Amino acid sequence: MAKTTSKKKEIKKDSEKKSVKTQAKQSVSRQKKSLVIVESPAKAKTIKKILGDSFEIKASVGHIRDLPAKGIGVNIKNNFEPEYEVLEKKQKVVEELNAAASVSEEIFLAPDPDREGEAIAWHISYLLSEACKNIHRIEFNEITKTAIQEAVKHPRPIDMKRVNAQQARRILDRLVGYKLSPLLWQKVGKGLSAGRVQSVAVRIICDREAEIEAFIPEEYWKINADLAKAKSSSIFNAELSKCDGKKIEIKNGDQAAEIVKVLEDKSTEYQVAKVTPRQTQRKPQPPFITSTLQRETSNRLGYSVKRTMQIAQNLYEGIELGSSGPVGLITYMRTDSTRISDEARDAAKEYIVNHYGEKYYPKEARDYSKKKGKNVQDAHEAIRPTYVDKTPESIRQYLSPEQFKLYKLIWSRFVASQMESAEVKTVSVEIEADKYTLRASSSKVTFDGFLIVYDDREEKEQDSVIPNLAKGDKLTLKKINSTQHFTQPPPRYSEATLVKTLEELGVGRPSTYAPTIATIQDRGYVIKEEKSLAPTQLGRTVNDLLVKHFPDIVDSSFTAIMESNLDEVESDKADWKGLLGEFYEPFVEVLKKAKKEMEKVEILTEHNCPECGKPMALKTSRWGSQFLGCSGFPECKSTKPLDKDMKPAEEERMSDEICEKCGSGMMIKRGPYGEYLSCVNEECKHRKKFVRKTGIKCPQEGCDGELLQRKSRYGKIFYGCSKYPDCNFALWNEPNGEKCPECGSMLVNKYLKRGNKVACSNKECSFEKPMEENKED
């Protein structure tokens, strides 16, 4: 057990707590109660409803004891002994817990069922051990009556193996952060940080950006034919696939033109050469784990991984369901296991058979627990609804729109995972035309199975139909289309694909994905452009330095091995302090070398100082935010703020708005939350939100509003009518005021990495053209 500072130093004197203790004694009955301590007040409220008045429920509100905020807090010379202290903001919480513990018969520690929760329980146990000797640990995967009561019936001691794995991780992160960060401050700028997992994530994003920049696009062409059976009006599409029986690659327009000439020749006959029908099964996917939930919500709902986990936490801890009170709706949401309990499987079967019929339930129950991926701990169940009979629609009135969407996704995926496979009939057809072969295919769902609940098909997989064809059928050519294409670079990572990559590499754990992605954005190393993660100039500079001088720290394989070593500690196969020693000794040697060899870097930008004309450099404030500062400092102290896209923010300037309070002019200023309007009259000081006008009239019929630039609740820019809510017209892309020549809808500008273009805002219209063409018009 780690050596700690004296409890007397961590907790305020007993005399300061007497009044709190007295209040606690007065608030409980003379008969002692059992005390249950959880992490959050919401969780406490849900559990209180289950356990009743014979239990007192208190919340620690997260960690109450940790390494000190200032200083490294680890005695390296004394075998890496941590020097814990009560968090300053939690002194009152500790006092209240001690007071409640002193009048309790026994204590049940019920933080989350993972390493972090086990460590929280251990710290609480340490601080309350004098107030009450009868302390137990209880663990549950869901907040239901059965699970809570079973946990109380079967308490256990604190698992020190799990605690030591958490201590090892915490100290590793502290050693890396506190040793590397000052070096970055000295060589690059103040406020910067490095970390075991975050630095690997930044490297992955930087490496992908380098791939994109080095990518050389290659031209290729596709040729498609619109065909029909004789005496039939049904037209279907076939794509050219072979020439003389071999796969064809069309490299340029001249080659495409020669092929089109042959295919359009009146003497060329189109005849069905081969028809291959096939019956296939589409199996449902397993219930969600943390990473797959984060990916699916990003793809389907557009939620960030951080937001997903916040909503899931609410659903897990309990939602007020009218007269039923708070109810935990899903199981624990930080898990890497697809396993489910027998009770959950049986409940799903009953629901499926009763609501959809026996043919929708497989002959044998599905078992996903055998399919374990890399570094799966399998400590908890998959993410599933706690009560399958609480359908999303039945409780919709109690949920926020976000909670409903996430709960529906989790509920549907779980129910679908237990259902029968869908049956799909596919037909592929090969058509001969001269020496060329064209291919067409169709698919049709003949039994929907799990798709009735959870349709996970992509748009291109939806049912497509071609007429009934047989070998030897003659076909009529209606039209030939040849289209030019270019190979595309690998896409930038989104939050969803980054989580998938981290999981595949074995970097991090379910509990670390969301905070890692949030941290690299908060530090200014990465910005989000649309849904893609792009490295900033600062991020690439720091990454280059770390790759050069600390290759192991930013190596995904090294970090994955370290994660496996932490798992070994938890399974009692490795000593946690020995693990720290093995890491630290070579790390210190590399650090000493880097201090001597790492060059000091100034990140110059293309912007010039408005005062002296010298280049502006990217700087980091002591709080970690970035700004532009003159490279001539300290002689020139000119600075410029940056916006969230790391671009120079506009200077304060007069607007054409008039203050509605006093009639004075209004100036556009920038605050911590963006630009706002401020009255120039010092006696008035009226402020209001700044709205960017486009000068483009709303195209909605009968509306005289103007399109304004707005931001969604997630910070994404869109363009909406000034008459909202009376008019709800909105666009995600920037309108340019022109009308589509094909359908008359509004044209918008799309800024894409593969080239900016002008496109129609009508989803059913395919008109688009290069933006340069638009500028010339």
Return the active site residues.
332
Distances (CA, A) of 234 to 59, 472, 475, 477: 67, 18, 11, 12
Q: CB within 8 A of 208, min separation 6: which ones?
A: 490, 492, 493
Residue 628 near residue 647 (C-beta atoms within 8 A): no
Reference 176, options 726, 595, 554, 543; nearest CA is: 554
Distance, CA of 621 to chain centre = 27
Angle CA 566–148–405, to nearest 5:
80
Q: What's the CA gap between 493 and 205, in Å, rounded?
A: 7
Give alpha helix (H) positions in 550-608: 556-570, 576-597
Residue 427 near residue 441 (C-beta atoms within 8 A): yes
Residue 736 near residue 747 (C-beta atoms within 8 A): yes
Distances (CA, A) of 411 to 329, 340, 349, 354: 10, 13, 14, 16
Strand, coil or helix: 329: coil
Distances (CA, A) of 116 to 113, 166, 171: 8, 6, 13
- Dihedrals φ, ψ of 657, to 5°? -80, 145
Reference 92, options 12, 210, 192; nearest CA is: 12
Q: Is the peptide bond before 634 cis (omega within 30 degrees of 0)?
A: yes
Beta strands in 421-536 (DSSP E): 422-433, 436-447, 474-486, 526-529, 532-535
State the DSSP string of 457-479: --GGGS-B------TT-EEEEEE
**H or E element that contains 184:** helix 160-187
Strand order in the sheet with 768-770: 734-739, 746-750, 757-760, 768-770
Q: Which two tokens stand for residue 501?
A: 């990559």
Q: What's the CA gap between 663 and 603, in Å, rounded?
A: 45
Q: Specify the long-range contacts of residues 560-563, CB closer than 8 Å, at least 24 apart.
A: 560/375, 560/505, 560/506, 560/507, 562/172, 562/196, 563/375, 563/506, 563/507, 563/508, 563/509
3-state helix, strand, coil in the chain (%, to 5): 35, 25, 40
Strand, coil or helix: 212: helix
Residue 574 near residue 163 (C-beta atoms within 8 A): no
**H or E element that contains 145:** helix 145-153
Q: Is the peptide bond before 489 cis (omega within 30 degrees of 0)?
A: no
